[in-house]
Amino acid sequence: MRSPRVDLPTGTVVFFRTDVEGSMRHALALGPRWDELNEWQQKTILNAVEEAGGTTVRTEGDSVFAVFPDAPRSIRAAIASQKALIGRTWPTETPVRVRIGLHAGEAHLAGDDYGGFDVNRAARIAAVGHGGQIILSGAVRSLVEDDLPDGVTVRDLGRHEIRDIPRPELLFQLDVPGLETEFPPLRTTAPTTGNLPLRMTTFVGRERDVVEIGRLLDESRLVTIHGPGGIGKTSLATEVARSRLPSFADGVWFVALDSVTEPHLVMTEVTRTLGLYDGPDRPAVEGVARHFAERSALLILDNFEQVIGAGSQIPPLLQQAPGLRVLVTSRAPLRVGGEQAYPVGPLRSDGEESAATQLFEDRARSVLPSWEPGDDEPIVAEICHRLDGLPLGIELAAARVALLPPAVIRDRLVARLPLPGSGPRDLPERQQTLEATIAWSYELLPANRQRLLQELSVFDGGFDIEQVRRVASRGDDGDGVLDALLELADQSLILRPAGYRPGTGGLRFDMLETIRSFAMRKLAAGGTADDVRRRQAEAFAELAEGAAPRILGLPGVAVMDRLREDHANFATAVRWSIEQSDVRLAQRLTGSLWRYWQQGGFLREGRELCDAVVAMPGADEPSPGRLWSLAAAGGMAYWQADMVAAAQAYRLQLETAEQIGDRAGEADAAWNLAAAAWIQGSEGAESLVDRAQRLYETIGDEIGAARTEWGKSVVLAGEGRFDEAMHVTLAARERYAALDDTYYLALTEGHLAFIYGLRGEFEESLRWGRNSIRDHHAMRDVATTTLSLAVVAILSINLRLLRTAATLMAAYEALCGVHGVRPPAGLELMMASQLPLERLTELMSAEDMQAAVDRGRRMTLDEAVEFALAETSTVIEPGAV
């Protein structure tokens, strides 16, 4: 056994790994002379390591492995190495270039060397770079960010999948004056950002298109893939994006517009995909350009033809986001400035190796694995030709080979699908061809399956098995719903489920929009559309009613995930109820959904629907439905900081509750009105809280009664009665813990931080503030989490964590813009008294301030929370609350 080296440090160290890019090429070109050059480059690096205070572990081949006791020394050695190497004149056509990787981790001795995962991790990080590049792991970046040499900066390269490392690694590049700073994408898989759909089938016949569109994306920042319905535009766009993933450090974002019918809602759908949220004084759509302003990303806008008027919104977005590129799929070009149109034609359907026949054979084997065309090859080619090379038609036809021989499929096409004439394609005629293709497949279904397909068309954005059971009429054959759905999926008339997602509705299916439109017309022609749509609306009203009491708090995370699955279905149900003047059903829906819209960041859409329901003819009749729809309208206005509208709705809610004798509604209305009155500075807030508490106690609502204690504390703190507020809040916290009311537990943590901060007890305030930001973030409460960053920033100033404070203030301001939030009354008071930005400007140098601000502005909410908790942990004792 080897004896351990006594000079190798243990514990937390910085691993320093180098190797020469293209060393085999140099060795082949130089022969024995390579050994001399390699020895020189290694000695150069070893000298830099020694002068910076590092310890050489070993050299191997062209690489150097060293360790440092701290990050700043390793940075100095890396910079010195690269500067010395670029100063050398090399006898090769290309210079010898060294890539350097730095990673901090635990050092474990294994004989006269190191062992353990972090050693290999450092080697993997070094290997993904390029010659002349210095790559840092996230661990090194956090250790060195406050101690960089003058002029040296750190560039965020995003999270990357690295071979043999189980989780995505956050990587950074050291930018040094005098050294090269622009390099190709790292030698990793694409950064783990974006939402590009996984491919579920093979990609056939568009390889040249993929290459050409990729080239156009390099030259033009807006490319529109256009062609008739069913031509495969979406599949082509996603394949192009997949091939270009390494070019976009901040990922590819796929926005499906198939359920969007109004041009002004396109950017709303983009914000929903990105996870941006509406706020009280700025809609989320105004944050899209800010979100992409400093990012390198590709945005795919799919199925744009039905919102073609929104094309004018894209050029301004591109002007404000220089690193963004947009790829659109549409049946027609957008015809806006800067657009590069790319027409997509049918798949080639002539010849033995045509793409169309390849697609037919591939899809046929997916339904019948043993299928081979054999002597039917000419018939298959004729089928593809008669379908005019339309991929959707080909896939629908191929799905029938499990039931029908190719000759029968061809004969049916001949009889049922006459093709349009030759010449330029006309979009309406192409749509008619696709309509006929769908009609043919539909007519092959038995009557009960035809009826089911029609009824499925009322769903918007997908459906699960239980929802189909509720909405569809019962079949005469008694088949199970799942079997029926799988049969339709086998015929490519609905989309197969991508997988089972527990807690989000289970197996979930969807339908192509072209097929949905066809099936809806059939349903309407049969005279049963209103009956089926009513069942759909009632089913989603029941889903919303069952979920509403469980939205707040940690259990609400799973509830919100489930409701998001049916976001489009809920909106469709509300709008249909309004169109049908069904006041009761519309009130049930909005009264149950408003918390979902508020927590999920859909304030603009939710308020529009809630206000429309309140304004319906007959909606002013006193009833439980009116009571809770007013609560919903008030809640939407409250969270958009429209206190006048909120107070008006809450007063009407209270009046309605009194009229119908609904004690629970009266308690809720009094509680709501108390909050609005306090914010408006009106008298009576405290008496309304007391009234709400008495009513909750009378009806036995222990949670509601306990929550009023938080309201009392807020009122007391607003009056400057901090000791009383503290006493009430701590007592209330114990009640919330006993009741497992996680949402109000988090609210009390933030309120305690506020009280302690105003009392000047900053460390104690920070304890509670850290808990509050952690818990709200865990509940995905975006608005409150964003606002909490400012609280932690102010506390950090008072605890002399100046760079932390400046970074968090910058992140707070940027994220407020992104998510459209603004500080509530209490935080406004705290900020007004603390003047955080003015104090930081006085206490920090301009350079340090700017560096911190630049860093904070680039942070996502997740990164800002992680940073806040990590940076403030040094002043919190172990075992803190």
* Three-state secondary-structure class, residue 287: helix
Among 199-203, 467-471, 718-722, 837-841, whose mean pLDDT is lowest?
199-203
Rounded (10°) angle between helices 825-834 and 742-758: 30
Q: Mean pLDDT, to the nearest integer, of 429-446?
A: 64
* Contact yes or no for 609/590 (Cβ under 8 A): yes
Residue entry with tokens 């608005």 = 783
DSSP codes of every residue in 652-678: HHHHHHHHHT-HHHHHHHHHHHHHHHH
Given strand 324-330, what is the order of strands in its sheet? Answer: 252-256, 297-302, 324-330, 222-226, 339-343
The predicted structure's pLDDT at residue 434:
57
* Whether the predicted pLDDT of 427 surpasses 50: no
| pLDDT tens by residue, 39-79 | 999 999 999 999 999 999 989 889 999 999 999 999 999 99
* Three-state secondary-structure class, residue 186: coil
* Whether the predicted pLDDT of 533 surpasses 60: yes
Cα–chain center distance at 279: 17
Query: Any idea of the CA torsion for 458, 460, 465, 466, to the nearest 10 degrees?
Result: -80
* CA gap 328, 256 in Å, rounded: 10
| pLDDT tens by residue, 701-717 | 999 999 999 888 888 88
Which segment, 601-605, 747-751, 854-858, is predicted with the most confidence on average? 854-858
* Whether the predicted pLDDT of 126 surpasses 90: no
3-state secondary structure 373-393: CHHHHHHHHHHHHHCCCCHHH
Altogether, the residues listed in the chain come to a count of 881
Nearest to 707 by CA among 727, 688, 735, 740: 735
Nearest to 539 by CA among 483, 597, 602, 456: 456
The predicted structure's pLDDT at residue 681:
77
Q: Mean pLDDT, to the nearest integer, of 257-280?
A: 78
The predicted structure's pLDDT at residue 426:
33
Hey, what are 707's tokens? 């929550």
* CA gap 79, 84 in Å, rounded: 9
Q: Give the single-character DSSP code of 348.
A: P
Report the chain's mean pLDDT, rounded to a whole number: 84
Confidence of residue 277 (pLDDT cuts 50, 70, 90): low
Taken in order 847, 851, 857, 861, is the CA torsion positive or negative? negative
Single-letter amino acid, residue 865:
V
Among 316-320, 337-341, 818-822, whose mean pLDDT is lowest?
818-822
* CA gap 484, 500 in Å, rounded: 18
Q: Give the single-character DSSP code of 179.
A: S
Confidence of residue 759 (pLDDT cuts 50, 70, 90): confident
Confidence of residue 416 (pLDDT cuts 50, 70, 90): very low
Among 43-52, 383-392, 725-734, whose mean pLDDT is lowest?
383-392
**601 torsion bin: left (phi>0), alpha (psi -120 to 50), beta (else):** left
Confidence of residue 424 (pLDDT cuts 50, 70, 90): very low
Confidence of residue 283 (pLDDT cuts 50, 70, 90): low
Query: Any idea of the CA torsion for 99, 103, 106, 107, to the nearest 10 degrees?
Result: 20
Hey, what are 61's tokens? 């081949």
Angle, CA 759 vertex, CA 756 and CA 764 arms, to 5°: 35
Q: Mean pLDDT, to the nearest integer, of 24-31?
A: 81
